Amino acid sequence: MITKTTFTVTVNPKIPARLSRMEELANNLWYSWDRETRTLFSRIDPRLWEAVGHNPKAFLKRVDESLLYKAASEQTFLSSYNSVLSAYDAYHAEPLRYDHIEGFSSPDRIAYFCFEFGFHESLPVYSGGLGILAGDHCKAASDLCLPFVAVGLLYRQGYFFQTIDGQGNQHAIYTDSDFEVLPVEPALHDDGSEVHVQVALPGRKVMVKVWRAIIGHVNLYLLDTDLPENPENDRLITHQLYGGDKKMRIEQEIILGMGGVCALQEMGIKPTVWHSNEGHAAFMMLERARNLVRQGLDFASAVEAVAVNTVFTTHTAVPAGHDHFSKAMMHDYFAVFCHDLKISWEEFMVMGHMPGSDDFNMTALAAHMSRTLNGVSKIHGDVSARICRDLWPQIEPEENPLTYITNGVHVPTFLAQEWSDLFDRYLGYEWRNKMCDNEFWSLVDTIPDHLFWSMRQTLKSQMFYGIRARLTEQNRRNRGSEAHLDRLLKLVDPINPSALVLGFARRFATYKRATLLFENLDWLRKILLDPERPVLLVFAGKAHPADIPGQDFIRRINQVSRLPEFEGRILLVEGYDMRLARRLVAGVDVWLNNPIYPLEASGTSGMKAGINGTINLSVLDGWWEEGYDGKNGWAVKPVSDDTDAALRDKDESQSFYEILQDQVIPMYYRRGKFGYSTEWVKMAKYSMTSLLPRYNATRMVNEYIKKFYARAHAQGAHYAKDNFANAKNVSAWKAKVSAAWGGVSLQRLDTPSKRIDFGNILNFKVATKLNGLQPDDVVVELLICRQYKNIRLNSFKHFRFDFVEMSKTQEHLFELNYVPELCGMQEYYLRMYPYHPLLTHPLEMGMMVWV
């Protein structure tokens, strides 16, 4: 027997002085949306660039020194290098802009917390839509030079890499990241020492190291517990994204929320607006409250002070998707914590109470401790308002404070480089600064049709190269034959990419119904197998390792794709990540989305497709219900959501078949004398024109600034001044109102008229019992709108009553004289709610009485 030891040594190349700033480029995620920077790296050694997963830092540690010196001596390379650096320097020379928000000034910041961030495949701390959206939010904040800081976790393994075997089983491959080669570096104090903070967990303190990632003008701080000082169990807390059990999850959320607040404090960063993206980060609100209680505030006032500048965004439309923890588990982690807050255990649990369950619900916590709340599309805002209705029990969901801002995508990240070059030529370099200018984008029409069409074909052809590589590897690993591979790739022809390609790629969550198009295989056969008009259907996506039905979808797709007649017509590509996503959204002809209405909170992949001239064919749910205008794609109207699920699938799949067969395929193949379809180009151009200026992340972040951040900042300052005088005022007032409200009442005194002449006055009189409240503690209001045969013709207008006098029976009398503005039948209501001018939302108390 031979015993031997393996020794390893890593040999790092020296970077030539001429290229010294390559390291700086590798350490700034600016490269995640600047393709020319990435091209610079790949040009030096394309194979290594692929091998290191497009990671510039890993690349620089492994590339042959001679190749670096060769590049440094080539004029063409140096000129690209210089042009990249000049763009980089120009971008970073812009100062931070405080003028986005009135009263905002250095060192004010907006802090954005999220469980996952997706910037680029080289930083694997994302799983899907939520993370990519958070990444896009940061990138757009950077583009706007917004004083903005982000906080997340640095996962050792991140999310898994997916392979799919010959039977369609998904295999989750986790690999440890070497933080040395991730685009992060330890966050440092001014004296050069590393930033570490401690977070208390039951019976122990966990050490947390803070890392910094640079995203243009934005710093992202990532927390890491995998330190030798910590015992093994604690080292594992930041091991996997969405891995582990409930205990792991609550510990991760405590590290993110509480550790995140400590980390910012430790670095002297003092945000004036705090944004919790999803409920995972909501413990940050409790940590902030604890700090204020330590400063001497009572808990109720601390809640007001925290909530007033906290923004909470919810992303799921499924109540079960909201994180919640059992009472027992909460007791383990927070029994001691309530002493810090100086409240009882019962009072603490109320903060996470969602009526209908005993668990501590993170959405409820976030809703109790944020005065600004939103969903991510109009439909999702409505759905969320209904899910959370009991948190404002006397308010109709349409009126409660939960509103919406529709998502958007970061255009430079997801727009193919080829489009960006073409825009430079036909729209002018200015297009980058016209992101939200609807009119400007009609210039897309000036791109000649044949050029537009051939650009689409070029992008498809590039996608085909990518798919061929992945499927070849997949087939080799699964021991498929060459002959079989040829069959699979028959239509995937980069030389002649003329077949119509439909794409479906996203997480395989059940509600997304990946297999909807398999409802009627005979019909699908007719659609895909026409020899004159071939159609290719491409699938990609991951299922969470614990999601068994999600993995069944993958098996089912695999099974159908292996039916002899579908071979080479239905492809299942493994390893969905940002890189494959970028290729697919730009390369396929039609982007499919068929979720169960109303469960697609927003969806963003369809936006990525739309900006690249790929046409959407989707169920009217999430963003598409707003984005679709009748001409910029195709839409399937969901059947009523109380229909039986099987019937619904049948009906909706039928709509998909009909649209594909009657509209999509004939239009695509109606080729004119120059070999392309003018109608197709017209629709694709219009889709780009209508979607790009609306569904981009700049529009989204601007909307957050104008609607939320500005107000949160102003209200925060207003509540905090004079040692939180207004926070105390509001909490004292709320306590008074809560105690009194059970005894208030509202009664109408005037006799309702049934009919009056136009121009005459309606005189309303009400008597209220205020149970100790004062007339200016309430608003008495008339709500009126015109109706015709039970249909409301406009939205309600609101008119306030005036307080007149106290009656002999100690009731407060209010009066309103109102002259109807319109003729016809009017529908109206009288109501009263508690009101204080310091409130952020007039109905935030959730209290209301109606006549």
Ligand X SMILES: *Cc1c(COP(=O)(O)O)cnc(C)c1O
Residues of the shown chain interacting with ligand X in the complex, contacts defined by CB under 6 A: 128-129, 132, 506-507, 576-578, 581, 603-605, 608
- Closest separation in Å from C-beta 320 to ligand X: 18
Residue 16 burial (C-beta neighbours within 10 Å; 0-12, 13-18, 19+): middle
Please give the Cα distance from 44 to 161 (Å, whole number): 26
CB atoms inside a 10 Å sphere around CB 429 = 9
Strands (E), 434-534: 500-505
The nearer residue to ligand X, 154 or 578, going by C-beta atoms, is 578
The nearer residue to ligand X, 578 or 705, going by C-beta atoms, is 578
Please give the Cα distance from 739 to 726 (Å, whole number): 20
Helix (H) or strand (E) holding 757: none
Please give the Cα distance from 648 to 643 (Å, whole number): 6
- Closest separation in Å from C-beta 775 to ligand X: 50
Please give the Cα distance from 43 to 14 (Å, whole number): 18
- Closest separation in Å from C-beta 622 to ligand X: 8
Query: In terms of Cα–Cα distance, which of 665, 692, 668 is closest to 453?
Result: 668
- Closest separation in Å from C-beta 116 to ligand X: 11
- Bridge partners, residue 850, by sequence: 831
Residue 562 burial (C-beta neighbours within 10 Å; 0-12, 13-18, 19+): middle
The nearer residue to ligand X, 133 or 289, going by C-beta atoms, is 133
The nearer residue to ligand X, 247 or 579, going by C-beta atoms, is 579
The nearer residue to ligand X, 174 or 511, going by C-beta atoms, is 511
- Closest separation in Å from C-beta 710 to ligand X: 28
Please give the Cα distance from 649 to 823 (Å, whole number): 46
Determine contact, residues 450/676, Cβ cutoff 8 Å.
Answer: yes
Please give the Cα distance from 2 to 347 (Å, whole number): 67
The nearer residue to ligand X, 27 or 604, going by C-beta atoms, is 604
Please give the Cα distance from 531 to 528 (Å, whole number): 9
- Closest separation in Å from C-beta 138 to ligand X: 15
- Closest separation in Å from C-beta 623 to ligand X: 9
Q: For 373-438, what is the HEC assignment?
A: EEECCHHHHHHHHHHCHHHCCCCCHHHCCEEECCCCECHHHHCCHHHHHHHHHHCCHHHHHCCCCC
For 582, the 3-state DSSP assignment is helix
- Closest separation in Å from C-beta 571 to ligand X: 18
The nearer residue to ligand X, 128 or 375, going by C-beta atoms, is 128
- Bridge partners, residue 783, by sequence: 798, 829
Taking each continuous run of H as one helix and of E as one strand, the counts in the chain are 31, 29
* 426-433 own/partner pairs: CB under 8 Å, 24+ apart: none
The nearer residue to ligand X, 129 or 216, going by C-beta atoms, is 129
- Closest separation in Å from C-beta 52 to ligand X: 19
The edge-to-edge listing of strands for the beta sheet with 633-636 is 570-573, 535-540, 500-505, 590-593, 615-619, 633-636
Query: In terms of Cα–Cα distance, which of 671, 721, 665, 747 is closest to 838?
Result: 721
Please give the Cα distance from 390 to 304 (Å, whole number): 20
Q: Which residues contact 754 (CB under 8 A, 6 or more apart)?
A: none
Strands 615-619, 204-215: pairing kind: unpaired
- Closest separation in Å from C-beta 220 to ligand X: 18
CA 274 to chain centre: 16
Amino acid at position 235, single letter: R
The nearer residue to ligand X, 578 or 615, going by C-beta atoms, is 578
The nearer residue to ligand X, 504 or 814, going by C-beta atoms, is 504
Orientation of helix 75-93 relative to helix 65-73, angle to 10°: 90
The nearer residue to ligand X, 128 or 497, going by C-beta atoms, is 128
Please give the Cα distance from 299 to 738 (Å, whole number): 16
Helix boundaries (H) for 45-153: 46-51, 56-62, 65-73, 75-93, 129-143
The nearer residue to ligand X, 35 or 371, going by C-beta atoms, is 35
The nearer residue to ligand X, 128 or 834, going by C-beta atoms, is 128
- Closest separation in Å from C-beta 624 to ligand X: 11
28 DSSP assignment: B
The nearer residue to ligand X, 542 or 728, going by C-beta atoms, is 542
Six token digits for residue 150: 């982000």
- Closest separation in Å from C-beta 376 to ligand X: 10
The nearer residue to ligand X, 216 or 603, going by C-beta atoms, is 603
- Closest separation in Å from C-beta 208 to ligand X: 28
The nearer residue to ligand X, 330 or 592, going by C-beta atoms, is 592
The nearer residue to ligand X, 338 or 578, going by C-beta atoms, is 578
Please give the Cα distance from 694 to 481 (Å, whole number): 47
- Closest separation in Å from C-beta 407 to ligand X: 8
Sign of CA dihedral 110, 116, 120, 124: positive
- Closest separation in Å from C-beta 120 to ligand X: 11
CA atoms within 13 Å, Cβ hemisphere of 318 = 12
- Closest separation in Å from C-beta 582 to ligand X: 7
- Closest separation in Å from C-beta 128 to ligand X: 4
Distances (CA, A) of 386 to 319, 506, 511, 600, 708: 10, 26, 19, 15, 21
| Rg (the chain; Cα; Å) | 29
- Closest separation in Å from C-beta 591 to ligand X: 9
The nearer residue to ligand X, 168 or 603, going by C-beta atoms, is 603
